[in-house]
Amino acid sequence: MRGMATFVPAKPPIHGETKETLTARLVEIGESAFRAGQILEWLYKRRATSPAVMTNLSAKLRAWLEDTFDFGSNEVILNKASNDVTSKLLQRLRDGSLIETVIIRAPQEGVGLDHSRKTICISTQVGCAMGCRFCASGLAGFKRNLSAGEIVAQLMAVCRLEDAHHPEKAAAGLASFDNIVVMGMGEPMMNYDALLAALKTLNADWGLGFGARRVTLSTSGIVPKILQLADEQLGFRLAISLHGATNEVREQIMPVNKAYPLEKLIPACREFAKKHGRMLTLEFILIQDVNDSLDQARALAAIANDLHAHVNLIPYNKVDGLEWIRPSITRQDRFVKILKDRNVSVTLRREKGHDIDAACGQLRLKTEEQMRAQGLLA
């Protein structure tokens, strides 16, 4: 792990404020407490990007907001459609860090893709310290955590882009996307407090009123944080990046398995499922000759049946610099059959978006390389 874990910007992002903290700041400068509600309404319901448009505030208050908070902490610098289904956005933060956000459109009958249901995949860290051997996010190491404000701003940037396709939702001040998956760059559980604060802002009635059941957190298996999440009031969904069904295989590809082996991880998942009464998801990337054996399929089926979990199989995407490959379709189907024969609920994701810049973290790595080559990045 290198670099600092936090970045202190010149002005804090406005999206990092809660109704409570903003009210306190306003009262401090002699403004009425109810102004906080007005400001937050502009920000979330009316998608304001600057105090200049907040016409029901005094010029003095608008100037104070401008001087005190950052309204543009996240700048979308690239919006790249891989195909009709996925688009990747690259956002630049104030310290120049790049993060990825993905828009995934679900094909719906009778509805054009632009107007269809959307899932937003968000990043929580710049880089990742977990060092999973298959993952581009971890390749360049860990730089820093995102702040709560940067996480909220990341989603509001997408929301503003998508408003054009969902005018009724925009007019009603609702999110113009349907689900959030925390599966982008970073290990969400290693930035737990900021992430939870961000998700609570989105959930708040003064925010977007976005339901916790529409949010899935994905983790490589940080056991104490899984248990902490199980105790949260808001019922977020949980996905576990399993990727190995025995310790022997899992620890080869995920160093985190040394600290939290399966005999600790699985009881924590059981505890989560018990407290939430909801099915969790096991993510399993299929890598040829690493974890795609029939024995692994059988062991995975046993874990899934024990946890009543859904299994999401993801054919491995080649990462530059790594020698592994994706199994053939025949091998993938053979793996699926073993799970199905054991009555496991299973999906095999053949996501086209991943074919272009492949999985999480890769667009950032490539863009950074290109920018560096052009002398745009140190």
Q: Which residues are catalytic?
A: 100, 360
Shortest distance in whole angstroms from residue 239 CB to ligand SF4: 11
The answer to the question of residue 317 lying near ligand SAH (CB under 6 A) is: yes
Q: Is the Cβ of residue 123 or residue 367 nearer to ligand SF4 in the bound state?
A: 123
Q: Is the Cβ of residue 130 or residue 265 nearer to ligand SF4 in the bound state?
A: 130
The answer to the question of residue 137 lying near ligand SF4 (CB under 6 A) is: yes
The answer to the question of residue 307 lying near ligand SAH (CB under 6 A) is: no
Place of tokens 């490589």: 220
220: helix, strand or coil: coil
Residues 49, 75: Cα–Cα separation, whole Å? 11
Helical spans, DSSP H, in the chain: 19-28, 35-40, 59-68, 136-139, 148-163, 167-171, 192-203, 223-230, 247-253, 256-259, 262-276, 294-307, 329-341, 353-357, 362-373
Shortest distance in whole angstroms from residue 74 CB to ligand SF4: 19
The DSSP secondary-structure symbol of 291 reads T
Residues 190, 219: Cα–Cα separation, whole Å? 9
| Single residue of 74, 145, 241, 296 touching ligand SF4 by CB under 6 A | 241
The answer to the question of residue 134 lying near ligand SAH (CB under 6 A) is: yes
- Could you write out the DSSP letters of every residue in 165-211? T-HHHHHTT--S-SEEEE-SSS-GGGGHHHHHHHHHHHHSTTTT---
Asked whether 47 and 176 are in contact (CB, 8 A), the reply is: no
Q: Is the Cβ of residue 132 or residue 217 nearer to ligand SF4 in the bound state?
A: 132
Shortest distance in whole angstroms from residue 198 CB to ligand SAH: 15
Residues 162, 319: Cα–Cα separation, whole Å? 30
Partner interacting with residue 319 (select from ligand SF4, ligand SAH, none; CB below 5-8 Å by kind): ligand SAH
Partner interacting with residue 314 (select from ligand SAH, ligand SF4, none; CB below 5-8 Å by kind): ligand SAH
Shortest distance in whole angstroms from residue 98 CB to ligand SAH: 16
Q: Is the Cβ of residue 132 or residue 194 nearer to ligand SF4 in the bound state?
A: 132
| Single residue of 54, 120, 132, 282 touching ligand SF4 by CB under 6 A | 132
271: helix, strand or coil: helix
Q: Which residues contact 257 (CB under 8 A, 6 or more apart)?
A: 221, 244, 247, 250, 251, 265
Partner interacting with residue 138 (select from ligand SAH, ligand SF4, none; CB below 5-8 Å by kind): ligand SF4
Site for ligand SAH in 231-250 (CB under 6 A): 241
Binding pattern to ligand SF4, positions 147-186, x when CB under 6 A? ---------------------------------------x
Judged by CB under 6 A, the stretch of 40-48, 129-137, 316-324, 325-333 that binds ligand SF4 is 129-137
| Beta-bridge mates of residue 356 | none
Q: Which helix (H) or strand (E) holds 286?
A: strand 281-286
| Interface ranges with ligand SF4 (CB under 6 A) | 128, 130-132, 135, 137-138, 186-187, 220, 241
